[in-house]
Structure 1
Amino acid sequence: MTEPYDQIETEPWDEVVARHESLLTEQLAYLAENSEYYRAKFDEWGIDPTAITTLSGFREIPFTTKDDERRNQVDTSPEQPLGSHQAVPTEALSRTISSSGTTGKPTYFGLTAGDREHWNTVIQRCFHATGIRPEETVIFGVGQTMVPGGTPYFEAMTRLGANVVPAGGGSTERLLSALTDLHAPVLFTTTSHLRYLTERAPEILDRGVDELPAIKLIGGGGPGIATPEIRETLYEAWDATLVRELMGLGDVIGCMWAECEAEDGMHYCAQGHAHVELLDPDTETVLPFERGAEGELVYTPLGREATPLLRYRSGDYVRVTGTTCSCGRTSPRMQCIGRVDEMLIYKGMNVFPSAIRDVISGIDGALPYARVKIPSEGTVHFESPIPVTIVMDPGSNRDPSDIVDEAVESVRSRLKVRIDPTPVSKSAIELSEYKTSLVEVDTER
């Protein structure tokens, strides 16, 4: 067992939540005094924030959504370039970053110097949980862009004490060269990029990635590593000693969840800096963090100054994998299943594209790159079988028709959903270096 980074990570979860209760009261008072946006919302909701002193009272506050953020930033001014929920003068901002824009127009978030300290504390906990140690050299494969997984991650990893090499944002050849030249044992990048490198690096190097010095693989920026077949592929291809994932949200804190050595779900690592809730997205009921529970994550930053949010619906749908762990951490562990806004409905049943991919990934002869093909942007409801692209493994001797038949039966039996698969060769797909979408629009229709 490795020691957690901070003592609070091993404190009883109930005590952590009780601490959050008092911190939430302070955050509400801050919003009432400094946030033009939330002052207007409190009036609209008929809420006196000073009267809310308990978690049960806090749960009566309506949610904030990504659409609220976008509307807030439609009309801005030099005094409030981040919109009316900017709660500090512009000159007090220390950093401005943006969302990736993968689900619509990017939104911007600001950080004061104090906010950056909050972020660094939490992100350092996350990287420590994943196994990065101060004495190690880390190839940082994400470009230092405006996204949360760029510069903020780089800064936190540097503060952790690691020798961090900013190799992202350039060519794959240069990244691989740095990995080899510097004998770096750790590679951090997005999950999609890890898979991209696994596929493309042998063509560039004319040798397998198992001959590279990286033995610790850390992925972020989207789910996938928790899928057993994907994790095992990375382990085998790189001859790795660990393959772990982490996750966060730029609107709140760039990284808040990270896998420990158990590699069975990501621990919550933002104790004392953000309050998290598990929400049934249909009924909007708050659920307890219990093993097997599923729902959408909702966050409220604690002590956030620049662009604070209140009960922010993340859109990330997760499954709780445990509430205790051999590593000693006491926070809930979870696996991200997918985005709530990517959920499909087949004859009244909910299904995530990632769930379809995960089932197909376990089929002999199929690679873990299956994607749902929708007839037009925004299609959610299906009465007929859902079109799915299945990527054939070029090293398999199985007949593609047998693979397709097994995929249909496996998805039907495990997910109670029917699919209409189309087998394609590996050369027919494009792998992304940043994020790979599991849904694509059928442009041939």
Structure 2
Amino acid sequence: MGVEEKERLQLERLKKTAQTVYEKVPFYKKKFEDSNITPDQINSLEDLKKLPFTKKQDLRDHYPFGLFAVDQKDIVRLHASSGTSGKPTVVGYTKSDIELFSEVVARAIAASGGEPGNVLHNAYGYGLFTGGLGLHYGSEQLGMATVPVSGGNTQRQILLIEDFKPQVICGTPSYILNIAETMEKMGKDPRNTSLKYGIFGAEPWSEEMRQTLEEKLNIKAVDIYGLSEIIGPGVSIECHEAQDGLHIADDHFYAEVIDPETLQPLPDGEYGELVFTSLTKEAFPIIRYRTGDIAAINSEPCKCGRTSVRMSRVKGRIDDMLIIRGVNVFPSEIENCLLQLEEIVPHYQIQLKRDGTMDQVVLQVEVSEKVFDECSQDLSHLMMEGLKSKIQHTIKTNCLVSIDVDIQKPNSVPRSEGKAVRVVDLRKEEALQK
């Protein structure tokens, strides 16, 4: 669709959504009134900036169904976040919302290289998390045979990959890497499967991780993005032709990037906080939702021919950002450094500790089997000191921070069967022990 035609469609849908939330969601009516705006004042896409923001806390404050715009009888599915920091955030879907969800995910799978008649191995978790069911419905919508294996039971995953011969695999990058490494330990070559494409998301991952996955599995790996508050997976995805930014389904989800401090919109190319407004959802429409994800957007045409706005790979989350001696660093930036070093494997964990009155950041990394054997399985070996210095130098050069490094033997860092836990804050636990 051409840009002007798409913008007309976006404005038409934005005006309808604004009218809906004003009439049917008391929270939004009050927010609009507090901002001295009514839906009939939305006459251009620029007017979106006049509308109030929505935050995750707003969802928790109206738990469970306070932000729904339809009657309970019209809800056909509920999803919820894990609720690790208080009440979970709950989202609902009407029958039309499920059809929309299926459509945008089907588009995403097609952009990744999937085709009708293919087999899709779905290793995303099923349940209240939107990932598993989102990819499942989209795969079926596209006309693919869907294997709903979910996460875990890695050896069974390998058996099904060998026997069902899927062309596409979906899951978190850390878990799919775990599958590949398990195959290698079983004496199997993960490059010799039927897989051609991988759709990876639900956790930040780096370009270096992409290269590792592509090399280990002999596939094209693309990044998918989504969050339950907007709809789930399928909000955006990379195309397999370019692998250069994630195409946003922007006829359904309007994207902005703002400065998280000033809340002012940022121009294309500048990194800030992603903000989404839904344009076509019925049960749970949402206005200017602050995602907490750091990214940039790009309106330039893509070589694949799609005219949708693209977003960069998510750099990290505002709440995951580490401040190390005054320097802001995201875990994904540390991952970029680690994956440049062949002596260690791409599994790591950042631990936040307290050393007296000072915060201490310790990076746990895992040495490769080859290096471990060369050191006669002695982590106190002089070679390990050299490797530690090399890791610290690489991080210092690229991230401009000095960090403590703890080198572990192979298979010591916890493996993921879902989202990888990259940052562990031990400070509260240490304080309680004292």
Aligned residue in 2 for 1:395: 370
TM-score, with normalisation over the residues of structure 1?
0.87
Q: How many residues align?
A: 417
Answer yes or no: is 1:419 the counterpart of 2:399. no
Answer yes or no: is 1:50 the counterpart of 2:29. no
Q: Could you tell me how far 1:289 is from its partner in structure 2?
A: 2.3
Match of 1:194 among 176, 183, 188: 176
**Maintained 8 Å contact 1:361/1:368:** yes
Aligned residue in 2 for 1:276: 255
Match of 1:245 among 211, 223, 227: 223
Alignment of 1:17-36 (within 5 A): 17-36=7-26
Match of 2:165 among 143, 159, 183: 183
Aligned residue in 1 for 2:199: 218
Aligned residue in 1 for 2:393: 409
SS in 2 for 1:173: helix
Q: Where do 5+ consecutive residues of structure 1 fail to align? A: 1-7, 74-81
Flag the 1:394–1:416 CA change in 2: closer, same or farther, 3 A: same
**Maintained 8 Å contact 1:346/1:417:** yes
Flag the 1:368–1:105 CA change in 2: closer, same or farther, 3 A: farther
Match of 2:246 among 259, 267, 273: 267
Q: Could you tell me how far 1:248 is from its partner in structure 2?
A: 0.7
Aligned residue in 2 for 1:99: 81
Flag the 1:243–1:102 CA change in 2: closer, same or farther, 3 A: farther
Residues 152-202 of structure 1, C-alpha deviation per residue, up to 9 Å, x if partnerless? Answer: 220111010111111224622322222111222222222222122122233
**Maintained 8 Å contact 1:246/1:266:** no
Moved more, 50-59 or 333-342: 50-59
**Maintained 8 Å contact 2:257/2:297:** no
How far apart, CA to CA, are the structure 1 residues paired with 2:85 and 2:338?
25
**Maintained 8 Å contact 1:322/1:334:** no
**Maintained 8 Å contact 1:143/1:166:** no
Flag the 1:168–1:401 CA change in 2: closer, same or farther, 3 A: same
Q: Could you tell me how far 1:262 is from its partner in structure 2?
A: 4.2
How far apart, CA to CA, are the structure 1 residues paired with 2:143 and 2:31?
42
Superposition CA RMSD, Å: 2.4
How far apart, CA to CA, are the structure 2 residues paired with 1:283 and 1:43?
22
Aligned residue type for 2:23: E
Match of 1:344 among 310, 322, 331: 322
Flag the 1:95–1:329 CA change in 2: closer, same or farther, 3 A: same
Q: Could you tell me how far 1:105 is from its partner in structure 2?
A: 4.1
Q: Could you tell me how far 1:402 is from its partner in structure 2?
A: 1.9
Alignment of 1:55-204 (within 5 A): 55-73=45-63, 82-101=64-83, 105-169=87-151, 171-203=153-185
How far apart, CA to CA, are the structure 2 residues paired with 1:148 and 1:98?
8
Q: Could you tell me how far 1:359 is from its partner in structure 2?
A: 1.5
Aligned residue in 2 for 1:285: 264
Match of 2:351 among 356, 361, 373: 373
Aligned residue in 1 for 2:304: 327
How far apart, CA to CA, are the structure 1 residues paired with 2:84 and 2:163?
34
Flag the 1:236–1:321 CA change in 2: closer, same or farther, 3 A: farther
Residues 225-245 of structure 1, C-alpha deviation per residue, up to 9 Å, x if partnerless? Answer: x422x22222222233x1222
**Maintained 8 Å contact 1:346/1:383:** no
Match of 2:332 among 331, 347, 354: 354
Answer yes or no: is 1:227 the counterpart of 2:207. yes
TM-score, with normalisation over the residues of structure 2?
0.89
**Maintained 8 Å contact 2:230/2:286:** yes
**Maintained 8 Å contact 1:301/1:308:** yes
Q: Could you tell me how far 1:369 is from its partner in structure 2?
A: 2.3
How far apart, CA to CA, are the structure 1 residues paired with 2:390 and 2:337?
10
Q: Could you tell me how far 1:353 is from its partner in structure 2?
A: 1.6
Flag the 1:278–1:141 CA change in 2: closer, same or farther, 3 A: same
Aligned residue type for 1:197: I
SS in 2 for 1:33: helix
**Maintained 8 Å contact 2:37/2:50:** no
Q: Where do 5+ consecutive residues of structure 2 fail to align? A: 376-382
Aligned residue in 2 for 1:317: 294
SS in 2 for 1:310: coil
Flag the 1:319–1:271 CA change in 2: closer, same or farther, 3 A: closer
SS in 2 for 1:395: helix
Flag the 1:104–1:394 CA change in 2: closer, same or farther, 3 A: farther
Moved more, 163-172 or 303-312: 163-172
How far apart, CA to CA, are the structure 2 residues paired with 1:415 and 1:104?
33
